[in-house]
Chain A
Amino acid sequence: MNDDYLWDRSGKPDAEVERLENLLRRFRQDAPAPDFAHAAVEPERSGPAWWRWPRLAIAAASFAALSFLAWYAIRATRPAWTVERLAGTPAVGSLTIRAPGHLLAGESLETDANSRARINMEAVGEVEVDPNTRLRLLRARPLEHRFALDRGTIHAFIWAPPRLFTVDTPSAVAVDLGCRYTLHVEPGGNGELHVTFGWVSFDHTVNGATVESFVPAGAMCLTRPGAGPGTPYFEDASPALRAALEKLDFDLVAGGVKGGIPGGVQGGVSGGVTGGISGGVTGGVSEGVTGGVESLEKVRAAVLDTVLSESRRQDALTLWHLLSRTAGAERARVYERLAQLVPPPAGVTRQGILEGDPATQRNMRDLWWDELGLGDTSWWRIWKGPAPVR
């Protein structure tokens, strides 16, 4: 994932890039400069001055006419993508799609148990819609293509620049940072994201606090209404780890929130790569919850035992996310296990991760992230920064 060599030839050479450089240099430009001495140059102005004014008037009239036509065309049409029937009888609104049709901003595409469809978005990408799915096109603008998946399954393959393509679900927003993923939403609002190529950011904001998960190719992430996205993990993680993580993310935390931790858990979770408030769980629990807290903590500790003992080197992705989703003794245990799997680099200290101010914690987590083999954080800044423009 580290692209420094591809970018500016610094860092460790990428064998495949080097191979292609050597292979393809035979096509490089090597022709000498042509003789420009006799090339004709257009004069800066042509014709006498009296002729220039009528031409300017004609140009101005043409411009006005074209502007009116463009304005009329924009008013007359709304943004739309092409919908193609793959099987059965998918419908846009109340109209069944037989031949390729259009999905306009504000319309929904719905498939029954026997229907499938594909949405072609030209320079953005394509989305395949599985049976029993309802998908709404919220916006189709040059810098924003936003869908809402109410239920069902879509497979997105996106080649637009990062962050232009997003899908809202009842409990999280999938922001395309990469290329290919599958998103499933159950009728109750629970969701699953599986990334097969590139990266997807899965986030959810409540009262200004953001829960954010970065999901690379080969990894997945669950999401639940009220809780937002869980901790991401690789698909080949052990079943025990996956089950324990689901409890930690949703079952045990949900009980705590309902028991009266105003903003505590959300605040504590809000620190993916972007950093944020930490320490929410412990603070909130100690102040706001009475009775049952000790048993909740014991159960969480036991479940966390499973997560930590089942973690492999690859699961550092999961533990790294847990650093910002736990607090106090829990975070200390996550720190110790992550340090065993991926030793913290210079600049990262136990005290800083556990007790530092939010900015310090964030900076240290960033430094540690660079050791995970998933690309460096400067790279994240680019993905998360303003959308590139041509």
Chain B
Amino acid sequence: MGARTETIADAGRTLGVNQPLYSGPARSAAEDATIVAEARAGDRTAFGRLYDRYARMVHGILLARVPRDAVEDLVQDVFLLALRRLHTLRDAAAFGGWLAMITRNRAKDYFRRSPQRLETELSENVAGAERECSGPDAEALAALAAIRELPDAYRETLILRLVEGMNGPEIAARTGLTPGSVRVNLHRGMEMLRKRLEKIPFSRQEVE
């Protein structure tokens, strides 16, 4: 276990991940339980630590579902909502799965409250990315749009992995999904993404 933790930590440093590094599922859940207890007791710095640990997950789940320019505000909404509702969480060690559920529900609310937003969302597709800009930005936007066109489970997991820089075990521990489920979602999502990217001209040139 120790060796695995080192490997993941090294990978995090290599990728320049600033957030606290993932320390394995059991340890991560135990740390969550401690921090949640402190936050429930009124320690707001403890809630700040939860933010540091989970901001990437919340950001990734939202980025998979709502327009990019709405994500930052919604991240804050989610954490403020979680802070207000923290006393309703029965199992402190399950904070990650609980927060992920709040985040997905908040994304649904975003569209429910204003259905016309769906049109904005739909305009952020691959063709739109190609039209709106060029070069690496267009390529990145097109790749992101291609991910966002995948089925829910795949796009969320792929965004956490490719955009937020989390690895598979960390995604599983943070979101409360089983490692097997995450691995399958990553694999199948990546296969579908490769097929979609083959159809994007500049993406194909880059690969070749």
Interface of A toward B, CB cutoff 8 Å: 3, 6-10, 15-17, 19-21, 23-31, 33-34, 36-37, 39-42, 44, 123, 159, 161-162, 178-179, 197-198, 379, 382-383, 385-386, 388-390
The minimal Cβ–Cβ distance linking B8 to chain A, given in whole angstroms, is 7
Smallest beta-carbon distance B55→chain A, Å: 5
- Interface pair A16/B207, CB less than 8 Å apart: yes
Shortest C-beta distance, B200 to chain A (Å), equals: 12
Contacts of B68 in A (CB 8 A): 27
A33 and B140 in contact (CB under 8 A), knowing A21-B15, A385-B180?
A: no
Mark interface residues in B161-173 (1 if CB within 8 Å of A CB, else 0). 1111101110000
B178 at the A interface (CB under 8 A):
yes
Q: How far does the Cβ of A143 sit from chain B's closest Cβ, in whole Å?
A: 13
In the bound complex, residues from chain B placing their C-beta under 8 Å from that of A31 are 55, 72, 75-76
Q: Is A388's CB under 8 angstroms from B181's CB?
A: yes
Instruction: Give the residue of B153, B163, B167 whose beta carbon is less than 8 angstroms from that of A7.
Output: B167
- Return B54 CB to nearest CB of chain A, in Å: 10
What are some 7 contacts across the A-B interface (CB < 8 A)?
A20-B193, A30-B18, A31-B72, A159-B151, A179-B192, A382-B184, A390-B153
A274 to chain B, nearest CB (A): 17
The docked-state distance in angstroms from the alpha carbon of A6 to that of B83 is 33
From known contacts A3-B187, A198-B188, infer whether A36 and B181 are also in contact, taking CB-CB under 8 Å. no
Given contacts A29-B164, A388-B177, 10 further A-B contacts (CB under 8 A): A6-B186, A8-B11, A8-B168, A17-B190, A27-B144, A29-B60, A36-B80, A37-B44, A42-B84, A159-B151
Contact between B47 and A36, CB atoms less than 8 A apart: yes
A34/B79 contact (C-beta < 8 A), A7-B168, A7-B186, A198-B188 known: yes
Chain B residue contacts of A20, Cβ below 8 A: 143, 162, 193
Tell me whether B60 and A33 are in contact (CB under 8 A). Answer: no
* B83 A39 Cβ-Cβ under 8 A: yes
User: How many A-B residue pairs lie within 8 Å, measured between CB atoms?
Assistant: 141
Find out whether the CB atom of B87 lies under 8 angstroms from the CB atom of A42.
yes
Question: Interface on chain A toward B: helix, strand, loop, or mixed SS?
Answer: loop
Tell whether, in the assembled complex, residue A197 and residue B184 are in contact, meaning their CB atoms are under 8 Å apart: no
Closest to A162 in B: B184
Which residues of B does A touch, CB under 8 Å? 7-8, 11, 15, 18, 44, 47-48, 51-52, 55-56, 58-60, 63, 68, 72, 75-76, 79-80, 83-87, 136, 139-140, 143-144, 151, 153-154, 161-165, 167-169, 177-178, 180-188, 190-195, 197, 206-207
Please, which residues of chain B bring their CB within 8 A of the CB of A40? Answer: 84
Bound Cα distance from A389 to B184, whole angstroms: 11
Chain A residues closer than 8 Å to B191, beta-carbon distance: 178-179, 197-198
B194–A8 contact, CB under 8 A? no
The reply to whether A389 and B178 form a contact with Cβ atoms under 8 Å apart is: yes
B183 to chain A, nearest CB (A): 6
A23 touches B140 (CB 8 A): yes
Contacts of A15 in B (CB 8 A): 207
Given contacts A39-B83, A161-B181, A162-B184, contact A24 B169 (CB under 8 A): no
Given A3-B186, A34-B79, A388-B184, decide whether A28 and B86 contact each other with a Cβ distance below 8 A. Answer: no
Of the candidates A6, A44, A198, the one having the most CB atoms from chain B within 10 angstroms of its own CB is: A6
Q: In the complex, what distance in Å separates the CA atom of A34 from the CA atom of B44?
A: 11
A380–chain B nearest beta-carbon distance, Å: 12
Given contacts A19-B206, A23-B136, contact A34 B190 (CB under 8 A): no
Q: Which 10 A-B pairs have the closest CB atoms?
A: A388-B181, A29-B59, A7-B168, A33-B51, A9-B11, A24-B163, A44-B87, A42-B84, A36-B44, A8-B167
Best-surrounded residue of A3, A9, A30, A123 (most CB of chain B within 10 A): A9
Q: Do residues A7 and B183 form an inter-chain contact, with CB atoms below 8 A? A: yes
Q: Which residues of B contact A27 (CB under 8 A)?
A: 63, 68, 140, 144, 163
Give complex CA distance A114, B190 in Å.
37
Of A42, A178, A379, the contact of B85 (CB 8 Å cutoff): A42
B156 to chain A: closest residue by CB: A390
C-alpha gap A91/B155 in the complex (Å):
36
B183 x A34 contact (CB < 8 A): no
Q: How far is the CB of B168 from chain A (nearest CB, A)?
A: 4
Q: Are A388 and B15 in contact (CB under 8 A)?
A: no
Q: In the complex the two chains form, is A28's CB within 8 Å of B178's CB?
A: no
CB-based contact B7/A10 at 8 Å: yes
B84–A179 CB distance below 8 A: no
Of the listed residues A10, A31, A162, the one surrounded by the most CB atoms of chain B closer than 10 A to its CB is A31
Query: Which residues does chain A contribute within 8 Å of B169, judged by CB atoms?
Result: 7-8
Enumerate chain B residues within 8 angstroms of A198, measured Cβ to Cβ.
Answer: 188, 191
